[in-house]
């Protein structure tokens, strides 16, 4: 159960006010926290609970499904304890920014650049926030749900004609 997870117990003790939701699905624990506290909580997870490997930083666009629109997702792994935790933080569209965790894990430099490029979330205090996969002059963020699959200014694909 999620309540017995070692990280969840400690987080609930220390950051009870900032935790929005704790969920377990298929044996994976997801903790949703307030955006303002993301850096502090990630720092606690890294330093006190030894989640030393930041495997992944990504984001999900919940356009029209829930508010706030974006959800930043951090998949953390602890090499000494061999366990995982997923931390999420909601990011509103109006102020589409969140603190960068590059100060904690350098792997986030590339990973956050990709989220910025494809999802359009700004990472505050990121040392080198540039587009990474798309060209520098690209307009728009392709992984957003309102970005057309065919790319901008093109007819949507209607299937093969023959």
Partner 1 sequence: MANKEVMTVNMGPQHPSTHGVLRLVIELDGEIIEKITPHIGYLHRGVEKLSEHRTYHQTIPLTDRLDYLAPMSNNLGYVLAVEKLLGIEIPERAQTIRVIMAELTRLKSHLVWIACHALDIGAMTVFIYAFREREAIMSLYEKISGARMTSNYFRVGGLSSEVYDGFEKDVREIIDTFPAHFDTYEGLLTKNTIWMQRTIGNGVISAEDAIDYGITGPALRGSGVDWDLRRDNPYSGYEKYNFTVPVGEKCDTYDRYKVRLVEMREAVKIIRQALDSLKPGPILADDPQVCYPPKENVYNTIEGLIHHFKIASEGFPVPEGEVYQSVEAPKGELGYYLVSDGGNKPYRMRIRPPSFCNLGAIEKMAKGAMIADLVAVIGTLDIVLGEIDR
Q: Which residues bind partner 1 (CB under 8 A)?
A: 25-26, 28, 30, 52-56, 58, 60-61, 65, 73, 75, 79, 82, 84, 86, 105-107, 109-111, 114, 118, 131-135, 142-143, 147, 149
Q: How many CA atoms lie within 13 A of 93 on its CB side?
A: 12
What minimum distance in Å lies between the beta carbon of 33 and partner 1?
16
For partner 1, the closer of residues 19 and 60 by Cβ is 60
Question: For residues 29-62, b (16+ Cβ closer than 10 Å) or e, as one string?
Answer: bbbbbebebbbebbebbbeebebbebeebbbebe
What minimum distance in Å lies between the beta carbon of 88 and partner 1?
9
For partner 1, the closer of residues 124 and 145 by Cβ is 145
CA 32, chain centre distance (Å): 10
Cα 145 from Cα 78, distance rounded (Å): 32
For partner 1, the closer of residues 24 and 40 by Cβ is 24
Cα 98 from Cα 124, distance rounded (Å): 6
What minimum distance in Å lies between the beta carbon of 116 and partner 1?
13
Cα 24 from Cα 2, distance rounded (Å): 6
Place of tokens 């974006």: 70
What minimum distance in Å lies between the beta carbon of 54 and partner 1?
6
What minimum distance in Å lies between the beta carbon of 150 and partner 1?
10
For partner 1, the closer of residues 35 and 46 by Cβ is 46
């Amino acid at each position: 159960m999620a309540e017995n997870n070692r990280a969840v117990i400690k987080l609930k003790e220390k950051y009870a006010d900032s935790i929005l939701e704790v969920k377990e699905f298929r044996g994976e624990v997801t903790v949703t926290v307030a955006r303002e506290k993301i850096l502090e909580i990630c720092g606690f997870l890294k330093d006190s609970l030894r989640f030393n490997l930041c495997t992944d930083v990504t984001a999900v666009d919940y356009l029209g499904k829930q508010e706030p629109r974006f959800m930043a997702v951090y998949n953390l792994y602890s090499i000494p304890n061999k366990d995982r935790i997923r931390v999420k933080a909601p990011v509103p569209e109006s102020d589409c920014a969140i603190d960068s965790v590059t100060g904690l894990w350098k792997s986030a430099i590339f990973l956050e650049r990709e989220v910025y490029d494809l999802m359009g979330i700004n990472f505050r205090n990121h040392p080198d926030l540039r587009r990474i996969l798309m060209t520098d002059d690209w307009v728009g963020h392709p992984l957003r749900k309102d970005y057309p699959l065919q790319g901008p200014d093109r007819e949507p694909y209607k299937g093969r004609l023959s």
